[in-house]
Chains A and B, each alone.
Chain A
Amino acid sequence: KAGVTQTPRYLIKTRGQQVTLSCSPISGHRSVSWYQQTPGQGLQFLFEYFSETQRNKGNFPGRFSGRQFSNSRSEMNVSTLELGDSALYLCASSLVRGPYNEQFFGPGTRLTVL
């Protein structure tokens, strides 16, 4: 069974631009969560999607948004990029929602904002 895939793996953008990252969950998994990892703040939860609806949101500005498609694939978008948005963006999927479920993480997208 294929794992969680994220595209692209690396991305370089400049301040003010916008970016879209993609995540394909493990086949059959319906919950997709996104995390941001930086050296200063560590791993922080961005949002969770289930059945094409955002179910939970972390403490990030409205420039960070996401969506989920009917096949459970998810995208996250960051508009008006700032230098501080440089980070590793990780996507995780699980079979269903809930705290019992093991989260499976992808390798991440490394975003650099210049």
Chain B
Amino acid sequence: DAKTTQPNSMESNEEEPVHLPCNHSTISGTDYIHWYRQLPSQGPEYVIHGLTSNVNNRMASLAIAEDRKSSTLILHRATLRDAAVYYCILRDPTGTASKLTFGTGTRLQVTL
């Protein structure tokens, strides 16, 4: 699986937007970009995924660079509940495996 690089930690104030970056310079043309997050004392949960176009859902937005070598997860208004470790993961759709290859992720701290 292609590798991703994320900052170890980020801080945000509550109710402000948060932009979590991810670099994936070796991404292949068919890799999807997935984001999961892990809240304290819980298992990871799916956030969003995309291929080329920007994507929005009720949790977040995903902005993908034109060359696809980087992407940004956007939380529009961070809340204390969003404090978690966020993982950017590349998934190869040509295979059948369900496995996720996690990196070290970004620990997001949200303060009042």
Please list the residues of chain A having a beta carbon within 8 angstroms of any beta carbon in chain B.
4, 31, 33, 35, 42-45, 48, 50, 55-56, 58, 90, 92, 94, 97-108
| CB nearest to A100 among chain B residues | B93
Nearest chain A CB to B99's CB is how many angstroms away? 5
* B104 CB contacts on chain A under 8 angstroms: 42
The residues of B that contact A45 with a CB separation of less than 8 Å are 99-101
Report 24 cross-chain contacts, Cβ distance below 8 Å, ordered by A residue: A33-B98, A33-B99, A33-B100, A35-B102, A42-B105, A43-B44, A44-B102, A45-B100, A48-B99, A55-B96, A56-B98, A97-B97, A97-B98, A98-B97, A99-B95, A99-B97, A100-B32, A101-B98, A103-B36, A103-B46, A104-B46, A105-B44, A105-B45, A107-B43
CB < 8 Å neighbour of B96 from A92, A98, A103: A98
CB contact between B98 and one of A31, A105, A107 (< 8 Å): that residue = A31
Q: Could you tell me how many residues of chain B have their Cβ less than 8 Å away from some Cβ of chain A? A: 23
* 15 more A-B residue pairs beyond the given contacts A56-B98, A98-B93, A99-B97, with a C-beta to C-beta distance below 8 A: A4-B43, A31-B98, A33-B99, A42-B102, A43-B44, A55-B97, A90-B44, A92-B100, A99-B92, A99-B98, A100-B32, A103-B36, A103-B46, A105-B44, A108-B43
- Of all chain B residues, the one with the shortest Cβ separation from A33 is B98
**Are A97 and B96 interface neighbours, CB within 8 A?**
yes
Which residues of chain B come closer than 8 Å to A4, judged between CB atoms? 43
